[in-house]
């Protein structure tokens, strides 16, 4: 009785031995990793250079802003020194600045601890 469907002929091609297949798999995996590393290096190199230049610009801006803030504080102390005296003027300007700096540091530390705590909880 013939159903009209032909059976596939048996595969007569020789199969490579298992050690050869494993060796080829390892070589292909190594070649893939090397190619991905080259691709990552080609992709990252110009971006890292641009990021370094950007960080330099931001650092320069931060230094100049800091120097400008110092100049403003010194100018305020000098202006107040005429009416309050130098010591009281320094306290009137430096005291509130230190209080604000302390509050900012406290808020920053709280946020940093909140960010790090889940990571520390995962450690054995």
Residues 16-41 have pLDDT tens digits of 888 889 999 999 999 999 999 999 99
Mean pLDDT of 40-63: 92
| Residue 4 confidence (pLDDT) above 80 | no
DSSP assignment of 66-121 equals HHHHHHHHHHHHHHHHHHH-HHHHHHHHHHHHHHHHHHHHHHHHHHHHHHHHHHHH
Q: What is the pTM assigned to this prediction? A: 0.54
Mean pLDDT of 47-75: 94
- What pLDDT is recorded for position 16? 84
């Amino acid at each position: 009785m013939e159903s009209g469907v032909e059976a596939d002929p048996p595969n007569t091609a020789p199969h490579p031995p298992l050690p050869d297949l494993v060796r080829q798999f390892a070589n292909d995996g190594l070649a893939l990793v090397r190619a991905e590393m080259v691709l990552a290096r080609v992709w990252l190199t110009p971006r890292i250079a641009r990021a370094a230049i950007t960080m330099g610009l931001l650092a320069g801006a931060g230094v100049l802003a800091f120097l400008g803030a110092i100049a403003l504080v010194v100018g305020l102390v000098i202006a107040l020194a005429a009416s309050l005296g130098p010591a009281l003027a320094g306290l009137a300007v430096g005291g509130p600045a230190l209080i604000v700096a302390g509050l900012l540091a406290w808020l920053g530390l709280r946020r940093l601890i909140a960010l790090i705590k889940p990571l520390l909880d995962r450690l054995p």
